[in-house]
Structure formats: C-alpha cells, structure tokens
Amino acid sequence: MKALVSVKRVVDYNVRIQVKADGSGVVTEGVKFSVNPFDEIAMEEAVRLKEKGKISEIIAVTIGGAKCEETLRTALAFGADRAVHVKEEGEIQPLTAAQALAAVFKKEGAQLFLLGKQAIDDDANQTGQMVAALLDLPQATFASKVELQDGKATVTREVDAGLETLEIDLPAIITADLRLNEPRYLKLPDIMKAKKKPIEAVSLADLGVTAIAGLKATKTAAPPKRSKGIVVKTVDELIAALKGKGLI
C-alpha cells in the first residue's frame, strides 16, 4: 500500500516573526525555514506504519520553489522512499494546493494521504479537508492515533469534548495532530542516503491545475503590545481600576 505525505516549507517555529515595515507580509529574508511541524508528525506516522508492515512505499510531496527541495530531502531522510516536487514559485493558496495534492494522489494510486492538520504559517487548517472533498474520499482530521487493518483505518481524533474514534475505509485522508507521535531525530547516515533518493519534478500544468488567487491579503500587522499591569492592594482599588478602564 502506498502512502502520500505532504510536507510544507515554513518559517521555523523558533523564529521570532517580524512584520515588514510596509505591512505587506512578514520578513523571510535571512530567516531559517524548516518542515512544518505537523507535517513532520505525519511523516513520522507514515514511517512507523511502514515499519509495522502496513505500508509498502512512502511518497513525500511538496509544492513551491527550488528551495523546497531541501524540505523533500528532510522527508527522505525521515524514511520516505521517493519524492514529488510540484514546482511553483508564486504564492500557493489552500485550494490550489489541495487540487495539486489531489492530482498527485490520483497519479500515484496511493491508498493513504497523511498531512499535518495545519501549517504554522497561515494556520488555515483546510487543505486536508479540501483534498478529501475533491477526491470524494473519507477523512479523519486531528488524529492522535492511527491503526490500519483490513482495508480500514481506525483513527482516534481530538475534539472539543475529548476523544472520538472513527473507522473509515481506505483510500482516505488523515490529518495529524500534535499528540499523534514525537518525530525522531535524523541521523547522519539517513541524511546522506536521502541525497541519493529520487525526486520527481512536475508543474501545476502537468497536473492539470491552474493557480487560483481566491484570497488577497490587504495588510499584515503585529498584534498590539500589552500594557503593563498594575498592583492593587485592596478590593476598592481593584474596582476603581476596572472602572477606570471601562470594564465595569
């Protein structure tokens, strides 16, 4: 059984985000990029399922410019067998990404598509759901446990009220939540082996997809700075302070 795993190149989660002076976006020049953390979790889960004999081949896929090859090499070092690079230098919005990923999924004849529940750059949390809708396949989002057996996936997912367990038929789309697993540290031999694994380059046109600019960001701004707190000694002082701020 083939598994497709999406990995996105994003600004590293340890980087302190700075907004550009003109408000046109965030500063990316000279900033460290890495694999989206939720996609790392999805890749780790695919590798664990392969180690259990549930998956025969893992294909990593990403969408973006030339620098995204580094992201794919990281996925190959994790344990992916090969990779597909959908080359596109422009902005990729969720619907375009979903259409491209759905096309790769059908082209590869995969049975399982694993990806992070969201990317930490835009926090849209919609690409996985869009892929499921485009392919008309079952989906299980926010997965914290995944088991494969007899052509079905049993997925424990995190919901507001606690945990929910679903059984879905394969092929299916599963999005990974934070507590699904803890990704392994990459070893130097695996990083060296990844350099020899194949990466197939395709374009959106090759997949029959046209980039759609459905959303336009008009302005980016940093959150307002919190004002300094004050210390009150009595209840009367507290009430007076709250009244002064118009809170009561």
For a pLDDT cut of 70, what percent of the chain falls above it? 100
Q: What is the pLDDT of residue 16?
A: 86
Measured distance CA(232)–CA(152) in Å, rounded: 60
pLDDT digits (tens, 9 = 90+) for 38-94: 999 999 999 999 999 999 999 999 999 888 999 999 999 999 999 999 998 877 888
Supply the range of the domain harboring residue 233. Answer: 2-244
Distance CA 81, CA 78 (A): 9
Rounded distance, CA 241 to CA 248, Å? Answer: 9
Q: How many domains does the chain have?
A: 1
- The mean pLDDT value of the chain amounts to 90
The pTM of the full predicted model, rounded to 2 decimals, is: 0.83
Q: What is the pLDDT of residues 199-237, one digit of tens each?
A: 999 999 899 988 877 777 788 888 888 878 888 889 999
pLDDT at residue 40 in the model: 95
- Contact yes or no for 200/83 (Cβ under 8 A): yes
- By DSSP bridging, strand 9-11 and strand 172-176 are unpaired
pLDDT of residue 19: 84
99-110: per-residue pLDDT in tens?
A: 999 999 999 999
CATH number at residue 229: 3.40.50.620
Mean pLDDT of 111-118: 93
